[in-house]
Copies of this chain bind each other. A is one copy, B any other.
Amino acid sequence: MTKPIFYHAGCTICVEAEQQVAKALNAEIVHLGEQPERLSEAEAAGIKSVPAVLLNGGVFHINFGASLADLKA
């Protein structure tokens, strides 16, 4: 089982989800605002908005903070 990855962009909705869900899942935390080079990886995995968790290949968007398209703009 690969380590879950929690993608976010630092918004308040993202931070709450990070503090609760990402920590509970012991996920790797990726801040796409600070690591824009990982946007293509997130997009390739099927992520449409952040915050989101990639867990065993499944994509789980959590609430809605921002769309990936806006992060790329």
In angstroms, Cα B60 to Cα A61, docked, is 9
Contact B62 A16 (CB under 8 A): no
Q: Does A25 contact B (CB under 8 A)?
A: yes
Smallest CB–CB gap between A72 and chain B, Å?
A: 21
In angstroms, Cα B55 to Cα A25, docked, is 12
This protein's copies in its complex: 2
Q: Does A63 contact B (CB under 8 A)?
A: yes
Residue of B nearest to A19 (CB): B58
In angstroms, Cα B56 to Cα A63, docked, is 16
Contact A20 B60 (CB under 8 A): yes
| Interface residues, chain A, with chain B CB atoms under 8 Å away | 4, 16-17, 20-21, 24-25, 53, 55-56, 58-63
